[in-house]
Chain A
Amino acid sequence: MKMSIFVIIICLVMAACLCASAETKEQPDAWGPETQGCRFSATSDRASYRFDQSIRLCLTLKNENNELAVVRQSHVFLAYRFDVRLPNGTPAPLTLEGKRQMDASSAGGSMFGITLKRGQSHIDEVPMLNRLYDMTMIGEYTVTVRRQVSIPRVLKPGEERKPAVPFDVVSNTLKIVVHDQDVKKSNQQKP
């Protein structure tokens, strides 16, 4: 049931953000490299978390291209590719819920495109990244996210319309510190 609730939360947040495909009022400070006029940002609501707190990830894709950009909305693991690294630099393993979600994504499912005009952004939130990836180890993690974007061609007279070839847009590398301050205090009280 808890897993289901988590899925619901992800979906609700993603669904809610479908309506937010407009120019954002507050733009993130950190962006990944510009790719074909699109930029991608991964931010968290805080710089550090105690190991048992929810790590909220905000993903913003902005279209600065003169043409329309299209992002595909689908399962979180199909819409995004996450690279979460442990403090030692190795990939963070999926949690049981993360594995279940990854398994679900391998069945595919429904998908639709969200069109962004020039200057528009699309925002999704992953309300609990550490429910998908094991981030219980103390230290500094890095998170980089990729998202596929396609830019439909502007047709010349007589030219046949064809689907665009999607390309990856990469976010900035976000640093997240996980600490255990309260645990240390608790340990000190033990004999």
Chain B
Amino acid sequence: MRNRLSTGVMAVICLAVYWAGSFSVAAENQTVTARNGSVGDTANGQVNAGGWDSSFDDHVVDVPPTKIQIWSKIFNPPQNWAFKPFNQMVQGQKSLYADVVPGEASGYPLWVQANAAAVQVNRVFDATAVNAGVFPMHVEGNLKPPPGGGGPQDFYWAVRVGTVQIADASNHVLVDSQTTIVGKKIVLKGIVAAAGKVVTAHKWTIGGTRIKGYTQTMQTGEQTELQTDDLNKDNVTFYWIAGAPATSRVEVEYEATIDGTIYSDTVQYEVKRPTATLTSQLTSLTPRIDLRDGFLLLGVAEPFFEGIIWSASVTTTEGGAGQIAFTQLVNTLRHRTLDDASSTKEKWTSGGTYVLDGAEMGIQYGGTTNIGDAATESISKADSPGIPLAGNKKVSMDDKFRVYLMYKPNGEDSIWVTLRLLDWADAGAATKTNETWVLDAGQSSSTGQSSDSNVLPGWEKEVNGLGWVADN
């Protein structure tokens, strides 16, 4: 309200410029539906129709560099039909072809240009006003059917525009296609302009691969899904974890049930995602798994000889600055026979599930690397898993590892999302005979091609929390 005067002045300027033809508004054409009956014979600024087509969305065009926006909508009759003029016009309505009821945001200028083939309704408003974009409007009129239709019959059309709209966390109405990045927190609100009406239900339909949240601690990596309750409120918070090229454009729809009628708004999102490569290389040592430095070891933790090296390159999109890192899970089964009188046998197992391999390395294996906007960064980490020989007569390891190349965009409450996935494995055993350790036959190690993935790493334990148990 405080800017109403300046808004009005700017609106008039915009209108003048618009009418002078300095720029054009890319109005959205939509075809109305013919209904049986009529809406009276007078353009009187009142709603006369008994039924409404509420599937019409508003269309707003920015007018840079000002914050003035022009809303414009063109209605067309069905093919070969024509709009039928009213016989009378009251309350200063400018059109004989359409009866326009402005709705709540009537403080902003509105004008109508119409003929038998098109009705264009325009409004100028100041985008800084919180509710400027909320201008439910009813437009109704009568229709003339194509010639030769079998005698006189009354038809009308009636639409309702902009009753509900989608806004962001700052209450800015989202009117154009939006752009976001995987892992960024999305907060949307449904705004209903229906003073005095009762909203009995809300419903969000969100396209793409989206989740409610994802948290990481040493003990758990947990993804939560959006539940029905989350989608049936007037606001929703979520994250997209997949983006281009798989689902580059997704749609969010908000529906509000007002006095028993469903009204909706949709917003298109382009979800961007960094591109990435991930390769791996096993140690050049032969054999790869051997008895080294008091361990049964894949490679050795030294440059050129690491058990495996993962190398990744990540390229972000504009606005995609953040962090990249590896997270590794392991499905492990290790056995040992203690060098004691009873040759105690024990095993250390994750029970066939993947657990975080993070005690020594952190959840983000060996740390994170910053990456800028529209930038490319390379990271490389290594692992030389092994089991100590000391105190044992026999040891074995059978590990299946899963490496996630992950990315987290900057921004409050952003989450880590997966870019690529790599599986690799090792297995080997050694036995002490006459105080001499010997590598058992059958050791193996393997790594494959990485794959594009949006699967988030989930775990319920950290590998060092497993503990040795009796191996019966």
Contacts of B390 in A (CB 8 A): 106
B301 touches A107 (CB 8 A): no
CA distance A159 to B176 in the complex (A): 65
Contact A7/B359 with A15-B366, A163-B285 known, Cβ cut-off 8 Å: yes
B367 touches A15 (CB 8 A): yes
Contact A106/B367 with A11-B360, A70-B302, A150-B302 known, Cβ cut-off 8 Å: no
Contact A7/B465 with A113-B301, A113-B302 known, Cβ cut-off 8 Å: yes
Contact A4/B465 with A19-B367, A111-B301 known, Cβ cut-off 8 Å: yes
Contacts of B285 in A (CB 8 A): 163
CA distance A163 to B348 in the complex (A): 29
CA distance A115 to B408 in the complex (A): 27
B302 touches A7 (CB 8 A): no
Contacts of B381 in A (CB 8 A): 112
Contacts of A101 in B (CB 8 A): 464
B180 to chain A, nearest CB (A): 30
CA distance A101 to B390 in the complex (A): 16
A4 touches B219 (CB 8 A): yes
A154 to chain B, nearest CB (A): 13
We find that the number of chain A residues with CB closer than 8 angstroms to chain B is: 40
Q: Which of A12, A109, A111 contacts B464 (CB 8 A)?
A: A109
CA distance A35 to B467 in the complex (A): 36
CA distance A103 to B300 in the complex (A): 22
Tell whether B295 is near chain A: CB-to-CB under 8 Å. Answer: yes
Contacts of A79 in B (CB 8 A): 360
A103 touches B467 (CB 8 A): yes
Tell whether B78 is near chain A: CB-to-CB under 8 Å. Answer: no
B463 touches A109 (CB 8 A): yes
Contact A107/B385 with A7-B465, A73-B301, A163-B285 known, Cβ cut-off 8 Å: no
CA distance A79 to B388 in the complex (A): 12
Contacts of B357 in A (CB 8 A): 109-110
Interface size class of B (residues with CB under 8 A): 35 or more
Q: Which of B115-123, B139-147, B303-311 forms contacts with chain A?
A: B303-311
Tell whether B397 is near chain A: CB-to-CB under 8 Å. Answer: yes
Tell whether B241 is near chain A: CB-to-CB under 8 Å. Answer: no
8 A Cβ contacts from A6-36 to B: 7-8, 11-12, 14-16, 18-19
Tell whether B377 is near chain A: CB-to-CB under 8 Å. Answer: no
CA distance A11 to B422 in the complex (A): 24
CA distance A112 to B303 in the complex (A): 9
Contact A163/B464 with A4-B218, A108-B334, A111-B384 known, Cβ cut-off 8 Å: no
Tell whether B438 is near chain A: CB-to-CB under 8 Å. Answer: no
CA distance A110 to B229 in the complex (A): 42
8 A Cβ contacts from B457-472 to A: 462-468
A164 touches B302 (CB 8 A): yes
CA distance A150 to B384 in the complex (A): 15
A70 touches B301 (CB 8 A): yes
B360 touches A110 (CB 8 A): yes
B302 touches A75 (CB 8 A): no
Q: From B392, which residue of chain A is reached at the shortest CB distance?
A: A106
A102 to chain B, nearest CB (A): 11
Tell whether B362 is near chain A: CB-to-CB under 8 Å. Answer: yes
Tell whether A65 is near chain B: CB-to-CB under 8 Å. Answer: no
CA distance A115 to B381 in the complex (A): 12
Tell whether A166 is near chain B: CB-to-CB under 8 Å. Answer: yes
B218 touches A11 (CB 8 A): yes
B382 touches A112 (CB 8 A): yes
Q: Which of B328, B359, B465 contacts A75 (CB 8 A)?
A: B359
Contacts from B to A (Cβ < 8 Å): 217-219, 285, 292-293, 295-297, 300-306, 328, 330, 334, 336, 348, 357-362, 364, 366-367, 381-388, 390-391, 397, 462-468
10 residue pairs from A and B, CB less than 8 Å apart: A11-B218, A11-B359, A12-B362, A70-B302, A75-B464, A107-B464, A108-B295, A108-B387, A109-B385, A113-B302
